[in-house]
Structure 1
């Protein structure tokens, strides 16, 4: 009976986790019914306990008669909470907040509370935000979209300059001196300029200062999976060779194949380190390593990266800076040190 129970449990687990594949090239009645049920379920899930949302929906019900197929935009003004004299200012502010700009919040130390906030009237949709000397901030869009995709802003919200860092950007990290390291994913190879090298360093004026050499004695960078900066030294691990490469004083040093292929982040203090991630089910795997002379060797067993409550880390953005790993999940920001992740093995 225990064997039968185990088989039934295994079958149920496989059934529960079996993905549903939809053929987007062929539309079947069953597919439509499935999507409709999923939409209804998602609506119910998102509105559980949302009494205020239902109240607002009830207030807006009379607008149905005024909306037809030719309506493209709808503006709702909360007149109960806004004096008529402030209507124009409120409308301008609300419109601007939806079309351009972003608010930057600064926090220092381990506190999650914002200690400084400034509005940046930027037209970018920034994928990366990095600190620069004198309190300046770098905003970078991963895609060029036909124009400048990088802006530098002063601490008071004044834009200092804008420039182009290339298209198909995978990683952006800055150094204490203001150097800007940029790693690119595979689509960059079809472009021109620094991006075709896979890894480049830009000066604080957003002009290229160094590009990864395309030499026979160095592994090519077709997709910069992982990038790290420790001080002024940069480290990378890239597809397809997945070698650990350091760049110091404009010299690229190849430390051989990394102990884990497909890692999305790496941590290092220059002599020890860890690769974080991998392909498929190894997405949360932590692989420690040592640098011995001119090569990289595995150091001990692997472990899994989990949240403080023990749950798995899903749908996250991660990057390494020196010995620190930064993990972003939704609006939550986690930070863990190399010693902590290697101690978990």
Structure 2
């Protein structure tokens, strides 16, 4: 069955709902996180540089805090690491700064490094490796770290893998959608939007994909669902079947909030069979799970 509504997944505890959320995500283990600045803010961004923040984590309906100190990112992207620590990156890199900060499970700064300008996606996998995808201002800019469009780094900043053109797929200009699960990644880059399947240190399969402009995808067996698109297709859901060489559209519809309302502005995180969506106000995560019994 092609889904048309998301399912409630995790909510920010009521005590924090008056605070400005700098970023939010769902990690590789299904835990939801909200990054909230402690210092006085203006227009949703911290005044002080560096600034302190708290990560509010919700797991199985229960919430807890981790305080982070001396953050520097102006446009922060957050994810969690397997050891209980966190990584916070600035989406934009100034000059030669090390814009990624790693914190231990107690919130103490551990180290920092650079991954390049114009970060579109920052996703840590179950081992703690970081998958970093870039949008066009980085790929086509002056920061060489961004030029591959998609890279994998260790959590200590060591380069592990970088994308390069392969038969059936050209250079990445902008990595629109990225799904990371276990030791595999799926990417859907501009301009032709091929579906790249990456395992280990290589692209193992390139599939022709007729779905343009998707910002999220969920993969389960031989099924893939794309979410998003251009213009009126912003809320489109494309339910597809995978062959060895192509993506075949089976059905299309529109994805809505759990109550049926339109989504509006949203964040999207793609993790294996799950597509997590957070619409404004950014207090709740919802999910589309292809592995759920009613969708499998």
Q: CA deviation at 1:331?
A: 2.3
* Candidates 247, 258, 281, aligned match of 1:330: 281
Q: CA deviation at 1:120?
A: 2.9
Aligned counterpart, 1:136: 85
TM-score of the aligned structures, taking structure 2 as reference length? 0.78
Give the SS at the match of 1:187. Answer: helix
Do structure 1's residue 114 and structure 2's residue 63 form an aligned pair? yes
* Candidates 265, 271, 282, aligned match of 2:216: 265
Give the SS at the match of 2:290. Answer: helix
| Change beyond 3 A, Cα 1:137–1:151 | same
* Unpaired runs of at least 5, structure 1: 1-92
Do structure 1's residue 152 and structure 2's residue 102 form an aligned pair? yes
Aligned counterpart, 2:121: 171
Mapping of residues 162-311 of structure 1, within 5 Å: 162-188=112-138, 189-215=140-166, 217-299=168-250, 301-311=251-261
RMSD of aligned residue pairs (Cα, Å): 2.3
* Candidates 66, 72, 92, aligned match of 1:123: 72
Stretch of structure 1 that moved more, 143-152 or 114-123: 114-123
* Candidates 290, 297, 320, aligned match of 2:270: 320
CA distance in 1, matches of 2:142, 2:184: 26
User: Is the Cα–Cα contact under 8 Å of residues 246 and 254 in structure 1 kept in the other structure?
Assistant: yes
User: Is the Cα–Cα contact under 8 Å of residues 220 and 291 in structure 2 kept in the other structure?
Assistant: no
TM-score of the aligned structures, taking structure 1 as reference length? 0.67
1:182-220 CA distance string (max 9 Å, x none)? 110011122243311111111121122111013454332
User: Is the Cα–Cα contact under 8 Å of residues 215 and 227 in structure 2 kept in the other structure?
Assistant: yes
1:66-88 CA distance string (max 9 Å, x none)? xxxxxxxxxxxxxxxxxxxxxxx
User: Is the Cα–Cα contact under 8 Å of residues 117 and 145 in structure 2 kept in the other structure?
Assistant: no
User: Is the Cα–Cα contact under 8 Å of residues 240 and 247 in structure 2 kept in the other structure?
Assistant: yes
Aligned counterpart, 1:29: none
CA distance in 2, matches of 1:169, 1:330: 23
Q: CA deviation at 1:322?
A: 0.9
User: Is the Cα–Cα contact under 8 Å of residues 219 and 243 in structure 1 kept in the other structure?
Assistant: no
More strand by share: 2
User: Is the Cα–Cα contact under 8 Å of residues 166 and 195 in structure 1 kept in the other structure?
Assistant: yes
Give the SS at the match of 1:107. Answer: strand
More helix by share: 1
* Unpaired runs of at least 5, structure 2: 1-37
Looking at CA atoms only, which structure, 1 or 2, has the larger radius of gyration?
1
Q: CA deviation at 1:126?
A: 4.6
1:89-145 CA distance string (max 9 Å, x none)? xxxx96697411211111112x2x522332433122353111112101110111012
Q: Tell me how many residue pairs correspond in the alignment.
A: 249
